[in-house]
Each structure stands twice: as structure tokens, then as C-alpha cells.
């Protein structure tokens, strides 16, 4: 018992000594100055590309400068004044460049004339790395399955809310994407993650993507290791339009 008391007294004295020897904290001890945070100049208007962005679709460049069709040839969609519109039957368009982690901004518009319902109304999609789809659909007063409506990670995550504007109105998607990393056996080490802001409203909050987008089947069954990939815009037969697309690599 005496030995235990002695040890406790020694430890208490050491603790007091350590406290006395510790230098007093000052603000400068927790201030980090280097390296300096890089400067990025925002766009003139809120939706304009910042200075470090790659402009993928704009009025100042030819359509084929950044985009091809699925065969690596000239894109078959209609293009005028910086607006690309799906021409049904011509197939997807995809970027010539490949990307990994990024911030992506795009604006899209469903047809002003409503001619169908559910998945047949203003349907398209944005495929990240060419594999993982964020759904584009006119869901203004148009119900469909919840994990397939506008703002969904298709067939995986329904949006938190329906933030759609009416047919014929321009809408915005701002996507923060973290690409997956893979184990040696081809399984995910870390899954893809997606944050989506639709018309200024958060609809996907850093969600974990289970696997590649599948119309039929289970995403986990289709996982294959891959590197950087393109941005793909889908031809679903509806004349959906896109404009002001830019991307920041992270």
C-alpha cells in the first residue's frame, strides 16, 4: 500500500512539473502561413467559369473542340450559340478529356412542349467518368420512380427534394465528384462520392455510389477497376438542351 501511495505521489509531482515547464500558448503557435492558398478569380456572374476552370461548352468555341460522339467522331447533336441539343438517334456525346476528381457545372433545359410523362419527359443524363449517372429529367408535376427522377444518382440515390423548374426553363447542376480508388483485387478501396446542388438546392449530400449505373441489375455486380474517364451526356431521344458547362479538376 505504501509503495502504491509513493508511486501516485511521484506521478502527481511529475505532472505538476510538466505543467510548470509547458510554455504558455500564444496565437502565433496555431497560425499556418505557408504554403499560401492559391488565388482563383471567380466568374463575373455567379454561374460563369472561374479562372482555373476548363470550359467544356460555351458560345466562344466550336462544339467539336471538347466533344465527340461515341465513336470519337464529330458530335451529332444540334449546336447553336453555345447550346447543344440532343438530336434523337445520334447517340451520346462525350468529352475528349478524361477526369478524376472534379467540380462540374452545367445548365440544362427540358423541352417547353410536354409530350409524354414519367421517364419519357425530358430524359437525359450526365455520366461521371462515363460510368456513374446523375439523372436529367423533367419532374415538374411529373411523377416517376423516386430513384430515377431529376437529381437522382440513377437507380441508387433519390434526391433529398424535387427542385425542378418548369418545362423550357434553364436549370443548373453543380456536382462535386470524388472518384473511386481500387484494391489490387479490383474491388473498391474507396467508393465514388457525389454531392449535387440542383438550382441552388442541395439534393445529394456526399452520397456513396454503390457501383456503376445499371438499368437492370445490381450496381455492385458490375464493378470493374478503372482510371480517369470522360463526361458523357446521354441521348435518350428527348431534345434536352445543355449550355455553360465547365469543370475544375480537384
pLDDT of res. 210: 97
Query: Which domains, and CATH codes, for the chain?
Result: 54-249 (2.60.120.560)
pLDDT of res. 230: 98
Task: Decide if pLDDT at 118 tops 60.
Answer: yes
Task: Decide if pLDDT at 7 tops 90.
Answer: no
pLDDT digits (tens, 9 = 90+) for 65-76: 999 999 999 999
The proportion of the chain whose per-residue pLDDT surpasses 90, expressed as a percent, equals 90
Grid cell for residue 209: 455510389
pLDDT of res. 21: 75
pLDDT of res. 146: 98
Least trusted range by pLDDT, from 16-25, 29-38, 209-218: 16-25
User: What is the SS3 assignment for 161?
Assistant: coil
Residues of the chain by 3-state class (helix, strand, coil), percent to 5 = 15, 30, 55
Residue 138 CB partners (closer than 8 Å, separation 6+): 110, 111, 114, 121, 122, 123, 150, 164, 167
- Do the beta carbons of residue 229 and residue 99 sit within 8 Å? yes
- Do the beta carbons of residue 128 and residue 175 sit within 8 Å? yes
C-alpha dist (Å) from residue 228 to 178, 209, 210: 11, 16, 18
How many whole angstroms separate alpha carbon 148 and alpha carbon 163? 14
- Do the beta carbons of residue 242 and residue 233 sit within 8 Å? yes
Query: Rounded to 5 degrees, what are φ and ψ at 120?
Result: -90, 5
How many whole angstroms separate alpha carbon 46 and alpha carbon 64? 26
Query: Rounded to 5 degrees, what are φ and ψ at 98?
Result: -110, 145
35 prior amide bond cis, ω within 30: yes
**Strand pairing partners for 86?**
none
Q: Report angle CA 154, 230, 121 to the nearest 5 degrees.
A: 35
DSSP state of 103: E
pLDDT confidence band for 23 (50 / 70 / 90): confident
pLDDT digits (tens, 9 = 90+) for 140-175: 999 999 999 999 999 999 999 999 999 999 999 999
Amino acid at each position: 500500500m505504501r509503495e502504491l501511495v509513493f508511486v501516485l505521489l511521484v506521478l502527481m509531482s511529475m505532472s505538476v512539473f510538466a505543467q510548470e515547464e509547458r510554455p504558455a500558448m500564444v496565437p502565433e503557435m496555431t497560425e499556418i502561413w505557408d504554403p499560401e492558398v492559391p488565388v482563383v478569380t471567380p466568374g463575373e456572374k455567379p454561374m460563369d467559369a472561374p479562372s482555373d476552370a476548363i470550359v467544356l461548352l460555351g458560345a466562344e468555341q466550336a462544339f467539336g473542340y471538347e466533344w465527340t460522339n461515341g465513336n470519337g467522331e464529330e458530335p451529332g447533336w444540334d449546336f447553336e450559340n453555345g447550346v447543344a441539343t440532343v438530336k434523337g438517334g445520334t447517340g451520346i456525346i462525350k468529352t475528349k478529356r478524361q477526369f478524376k476528381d472534379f467540380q462540374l457545372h452545367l445548365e440544362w433545359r427540358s423541352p417547353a412542349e410536354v409530350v409524354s410523362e414519367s421517364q419519357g419527359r425530358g430524359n437525359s443524363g450526365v455520366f461521371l467518368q462515363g460510368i456513374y449517372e446523375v439523372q436529367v429529367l423533367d419532374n415538374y408535376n411529373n411523377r416517376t420512380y423516386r430513384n430515377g427522377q431529376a437529381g437522382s444518382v440513377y437507380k441508387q440515390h433519390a434526391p433529398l427534394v424535387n427542385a425542378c423548374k418548369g418545362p423550357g426553363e434553364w436549370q443548373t447542376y453543380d456536382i462535386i465528384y470524388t472518384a473511386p480508388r481500387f484494391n489490387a483485387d479490383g474491388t473498391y478501396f474507396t467508393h465514388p462520392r457525389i454531392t449535387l446542388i440542383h438550382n441552388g438546392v442541395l439534393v445529394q449530400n456526399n452520397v456513396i455510389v454503390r457501383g456503376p449505373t445499371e438499368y437492370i441489375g445490381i450496381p455492385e455486380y458490375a464493378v470493374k477497376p478503372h482510371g480517369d474517364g470522360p463526361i458523357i451526356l446521354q441521348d435518350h431521344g428527348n431534345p434536352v438542351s445543355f449550355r455553360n458547362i465547365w469543370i475544375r479538376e480537384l
